[in-house]
Structure 1
Amino acid sequence: MNKHIVFALCGCLFFINGFSQIRNTEELLNEIEQNNIELKGYQSFIKSQQLENKSNNNLPDPQLSGYYLPFGDNITDEYTEYQISQSFEFPTVYAARDKWNDLKSIQIQSAYAKKRQEVLLNAKEFLIELAFLQKQKVIETDRRTLSKQVFEQIQELFNKEQVGILDLNKAKIAWIQEQFVVDQIEGDIEILKYKLKTLNGEKPLDGLSKETIISTEIASLEILWEEKLTLDPSLQELNANEKASLQKVKLEKNKVLPDLALGYNYQGVIGNNYSGFYGGLSIPLWSSKNKVKAAQANYEYQQSNTQIITTSLYSQFQETFSRYKLMSSKYKEYQITMSNLDSEKLLFKAYRLGEFSFMDYYVELQFYRNVSDKMLQMEKELQLLQARLLKHQL
């Protein structure tokens, strides 16, 4: 097998092409973000919720009432009365509710950012899987070609009665297996492309890279966690929930103040009438009962919930980081060991020179192929782990 395939397995292109690959990946993710149907629908939902929250802080409609009383025992003309009034909550309530609505808007935006992150992480994992399969396809195609060459050589030897039917059958089975592997990989590639197309609003993604998606180098645990505390939508949502629940306490305290009403009133008969201003207030004895306590209890719950979830997320983050560092260390050991080897090519050359029987050649070949496959699988797992560690950067 050509030496560039071994280099691909060893991940030497991590640093050579890292920046362009990251840029290409970001471009693909930006396209998915723009076209994703779920995110578009969520944006419409956000707009509707924001408008609904604003409408909840409107003044009540003005009231117009009137009386015309022509019946009864009276010595005057018909009695007429009408009144127009506007009721409203205490002015500080509107200011408190307006701040609460702003915080609820931040809550909704945080929920959208969380959903967006989930979609983009899913897409990034698909891109990593796709790059892995495309690289694997190149390797397995070369293996299929090599298996065919071996089979044709053994066919010639069998025709010359220099090898038995068992060796011929084994060589043929090995070739058939490689054909099946390539066909299976092609099928898996098409499935992933369809999944990416679905995430991209049923539009196919162009310019998919066949190279490694990301570099293996990341910052320390402490730096990454500080970034996550600042940028991660899940943690931002917790913070928004806590602030909104605190503002709800302030709102409920303001709603204990009386509602007010102002208006104009006219009453009287022809030639004898009265008119003037109308004013009133409500006495909130029952409507606000226990609401401040309920809001305070919810705020205390949100504080506790923030602490519990943050601690849990840090534990998970720490575990993922430890797994990543361990796998990265093991991968580098494989990389150093395999970087200067060209084992499959050397084995094939030795086999053609007659230094190995087919079975010995095949057993040795499988050993080195298993190591190469293990490295490629580790490379993919490293990228997937890193994508999850750096999820907050999406």
Structure 2
Amino acid sequence: MKFKFVCALCVYLFFGKVFSQSTEMEKVLSQIEQNNKALKAYQSYINGQQLLNKSGNNLPNPEVLGYYLPFGEHQSDDYSEFEVSQSFEFPTVYLARNKWNKLQEDQLEAMYTKKRQEILLNAKKGLINLNMLRKRLEIEEVRKTQSLEVFQQIQEMYNKEQVGILDLNKAKVAWIQEQFVVEQIQADIQNQLTELQTLNGGQSIEMNDLQLDSPVQLQSIETIWSEKLANDPRLTELQANEASAFQNVKLEKNKVLPNFSLGYNYQGVNGNDYSGVFGGLSIPLWNSKNKVKAAKADFEYQQTNSEVTRALMYSQFQQEYNQYLLLFNKYTEYRETLSNLDSEALLFKAYSLGEYSFLEYYMEVQFYRDATDRMLEMEKQLQQLQAQLLIHQL
């Protein structure tokens, strides 16, 4: 019973940690989505386009005509005439255009979702970069402290004439370099925060301690691609473009049907009044010429473009997925090797005990530092590549 309780507690702590990290990232991205000025402007643009599309299905304006003819030689009273008319297309045209407008709304929504995901992906990559910069800063602060201690030891040995000026200068240069690295990372962190603040509409980001999980093995390429086919707005937009083009073919076919005009007419002359209704018929013999053919050609283009674009997207997706697998395997080897060694600390201890000269210590420790830096860079690339591969989940 005790064993089960311990296991349950471990599982709870692990998933609680993962959930809190995920929630913190989602919270920041939610802030950016709400405050980003580009998204707000794009939403206003989409709203305007939707209203413009709907206005294209309105009836033409009614027409009012009046005639009063007092001039000329005539023995009867002055002639007057009044006429009100309303023209409209064949009723099925409005139904077809209304369906076409709804499909265009789907296109606009897909465009907005694509824009939103691009901005959120940029923000997520910025947060990943910020997290890695903070990791590096912690490491470099330790290295800076160690470099200072080494320099102080060399300074004491130099004062006792146990080492020469060259060793002292090398130790000082190494310490200065570490100071510069720390200052550069601090500047990079501030620049990244400024970039994130810009994405957040100029407002400061409310963010607690953001700690990201280590990269993990992704699902199979087929599983992720199936998710993309259903949720990626770039693919959704292609489908919407095809559906809109197909509906436009139906719309143009309906426009070949005749237009109508109905109205009221009044005529008054010689004390006699005549009034009544009238109707008219407009046959679109010339105006609709080649428009159906053009709509069909556009639909064929959208179909071909969808096939080509989808194939290119899958090819790029495969390349990114394979690159992720390659990096992940190499990163796992680095992490397993370096996690079992506390190389820098051991080398510093050995140097403090006099087992290494400064030159030997510096050459050895630089090798392990380069390996650690390379592992951190691979972790950053993996986090950002994973975000790119799973952009459809944003």
* Matched letter for residue 288 of structure 2: S
1:162-193 residue CA offsets vs partner (Å, 9 max, x unmatched): 11111111111111100000000011111111
> Corresponding residue for 2:241?
241
Secondary structure of the 2:158 match is helix
TM-score (norm 2): 0.94
Contact 1:14 1:216 in 2 (8 A): no
1:330 aligns with 2:330: yes
1:59 aligns with 2:49: no
Secondary structure of the 2:216 match is coil
1:367 aligns with 2:367: yes
> Corresponding residue for 1:154?
154
Deviation at 1:208, TM superposition (A): 5.1
In the TM superposition, what are the counterparts of 1:89-168 in structure 2 within 5 Å? 89-168=89-168
1:84 aligns with 2:99: no
1:265-293 residue CA offsets vs partner (Å, 9 max, x unmatched): 12232543322111001111110000000
200-209 or 233-242: which moved more? 200-209
Distance 1:343 1:80 in 2: 106
In the TM superposition, what are the counterparts of 1:181-330 in structure 2 within 5 Å? 181-207=181-207, 209-212=209-212, 215-330=215-330
Contact 1:65 1:83 in 2 (8 A): yes
Distance 1:159 1:179 in 2: 24
> Corresponding residue for 1:10?
none
- Seen in structure 2, the aligned counterparts of structure 1 residues 334 and 192 have a Cα distance that, compared at 3 Å, is same
TM-score (norm 1): 0.94
Deviation at 1:210, TM superposition (A): 4.6
1:41 aligns with 2:25: no
Distance 1:114 1:371 in 2: 38
Distance 2:268 2:73 in 1: 16
Distance 2:202 2:268 in 1: 72
1:312-353 residue CA offsets vs partner (Å, 9 max, x unmatched): 000000110000011111111112212221111111111111
* Matched letter for residue 327 of structure 2: M
Contact 1:66 1:82 in 2 (8 A): yes
* Matched letter for residue 265 of structure 1: N
User: What is the percent sequence identity of the aligned residues?
Assistant: 60
Contact 2:215 2:379 in 1 (8 A): no
1:15-48 residue CA offsets vs partner (Å, 9 max, x unmatched): 8843321211111011000000000001111111
> Corresponding residue for 1:9?
none
Distance 2:136 2:359 in 1: 25
> Please, what is the CA RMSD of the aligned residues?
1.6
Aligned residues: 382
In the TM superposition, what are the counterparts of 1:166-181 in structure 2 within 5 Å? 166-181=166-181
Contact 2:215 2:382 in 1 (8 A): no
101-110 or 301-310: which moved more? 101-110
Which 5+ residue runs of structure 2 have no aligned equivalent? 1-12
- Seen in structure 2, the aligned counterparts of structure 1 residues 205 and 37 have a Cα distance that, compared at 3 Å, is same
Highest RCO, 1 vs 2 (Cα 8 Å, sep ≥ 6): 1
* Matched letter for residue 391 of structure 2: K
102-111 or 297-306: which moved more? 102-111
72-81 or 154-163: which moved more? 72-81
1:21 aligns with 2:26: no
Which 5+ residue runs of structure 1 have no aligned equivalent? 1-12
Deviation at 1:112, TM superposition (A): 0.9
- Seen in structure 2, the aligned counterparts of structure 1 residues 242 and 49 have a Cα distance that, compared at 3 Å, is same
* Matched letter for residue 242 of structure 1: E
* Matched letter for residue 160 of structure 1: K
Distance 1:187 1:237 in 2: 40
